Amino acid sequence: MNNVATLESAHDPAVSESTGILRLQGLITGLQGFIWAAYKMMRFLLLFSRQGKLRLQKWFTPLTDREKKKVIRDMMMLVLARPPRSCNFLQWRDLKIVYKRYASLYFCAGLEDKDNELLALEVLHRYVELLDKYFGNVCELDIIFNFEKAYFILDEFLMGGEILETSKLAVGVSMEEADTLQETMEEYMSKPAY
């Protein structure tokens, strides 16, 4: 809409030059910050290594494969180039990118511009905690070799980009249930012991 606005500015009461209507202008411009975007927690979540290898990808909005590849490439380019101790937030197109590095892995989420970045950072942290609880001392290799488990945990935690379960206990329990009830002996053996 921006481009229309400039053209029309000649008629826009907010920028009209006559002095009499100043009072009105203030009212109109003063409230512009109040336009809210739709709250949708997350657009995507990516996990990739310092070497630029994708470890996990979750998309909460439908994209084509080409778009996905573009996003992944851009994210790695942007995030990996960040100097240490800089801000955990980035602007990319019209999205806010929130990323955090845990050991050799980068967790990277794309949010709406209006969303709360700190909160998203904590979502990432909570996910790491959950992984840690499940794998016990989680490391990149756990996620590489058991990435389907990492996906399962994520599905229990986030549903459609929104937090499903904020209780660490509950996610653990539901994972446990799913695992023990159904696992065969062979599966049980291959599960990480902790």
Give, as ranges, the residues between 95 and 134 that touch another protein (CB under 8 A).
102-104, 116-119, 121-122, 125-126, 128-129, 132
Residue nearer to another protein on the CB measure, 80 or 152: 152
* Residue 122 Cβ vs another protein, minimum distance, rounded to whole Å: 5
From residue 7 to residue 46, the character string flagging contacts with another protein as x (rule: CB under 8 A) and all else as - is xxxxx-x-xxxxxxxxxxxxxxxxxxxxxx-xxx--x---
Q: Judged by CB under 8 A, does residue 169 bind another protein? A: yes
Q: Taking the complex as a whole, how short is the minimal distance between the CB of residue 185 and another protein, in angstroms? A: 12
CB of 178 to another protein, least distance (A): 5
CB pairs under 8 A, 24+ apart, for 64-73?
71/44, 71/46, 71/110, 72/46, 72/48
Toward another protein, which CB reaches closer, 80 or 191?
A: 191
Measured from the CB of residue 48, what is the shortest distance to another protein in angstroms?
A: 10
Cα–Cα distance measured from residue 72 to residue 45, given in angstroms and rounded to the nearest whole number? 10
Q: In 60-179, at which residue ranges do the beta strands (DSSP E only) sit?
A: 89-92, 95-102, 105-112, 158-159, 162-163
For residue 116, the SS3 value is: coil
Q: Is there binding between residue 62 and another protein (CB under 8 A)?
A: yes
Closest CA to 43 of 79, 95, 121, 119: 95
Q: Quick check: 145 binds another protein (CB under 8 A)?
A: yes
Residue (59 or 80) nearer to another protein, CB: 59
| Alpha-helix residue ranges (DSSP H) falling in 9-107 | 22-30, 65-80
Q: How many residues sit close enough to another protein to count as binding (CB under 8 A)?
A: 113
In sequence order, the 6+-apart residues with CB closer than 8 A to the CB of 5 are 12
Structural element, H or E, at residue 48: strand 44-49
